[in-house]
Amino acid sequence: MKASANGVLIRPMTMADIAEVVAIDRLSFPVPWPERSYQYELSENPAAHLLVAEIQDSPRARLVGYIGLWLLVDEAHISTIAVHPAERGQGIGEALLVAGLAWATKRGADMATLEVRASNAGAQALYRKHGFETVGRRPGYYKDNHEDAVLMTLAPLRQRQAVPEEGGREA
């Protein structure tokens, strides 16, 4: 477990977190992942790793974001990342990104990749802030509106010291 500077706890996702993650997913994406996809990622996909961000409120903690990564040989692919709309702009997405990249680095990843909507300038700025570069475009990648995806890569991953800065923004 790891706490970020803004008091948010970043920890591995569990099966008990799925309902809250799915709720955030539905608020964040036009085509959210179904619950069974998260179940599969947690229980059957050995390449997958998911983290959640939670805030402790009385009487219990509540999830405010998540990130999913796949470790494929020496590449960490960020499969998903989202923060509850009411919690955006507080550095939670950045804390999740940094924690995910640290996890991947510890497991031997040399590079990280992701796809992001061409219209999502905020997310692209966050990724560039952490060293990601645009390396391509996937035309019509998103099924809901056939929007292009921007392909971004961060390499070499091992030489980077990912430290979140205050005031970071997430998508």
Q: Give catalytic residue positions.
A: 115, 127
Phi-psi sector, 89: left (phi>0), alpha (psi -120 to 50), beta: left
| In the chain, alpha helices (H) | 18-28, 35-43, 92-106, 121-129
68 contacts 79 by C-beta, under 8 angstroms: yes
Non-local (6+) Cβ contacts of 52 within 8 A are: 10, 11, 12, 13, 17, 20, 21, 63, 65, 66
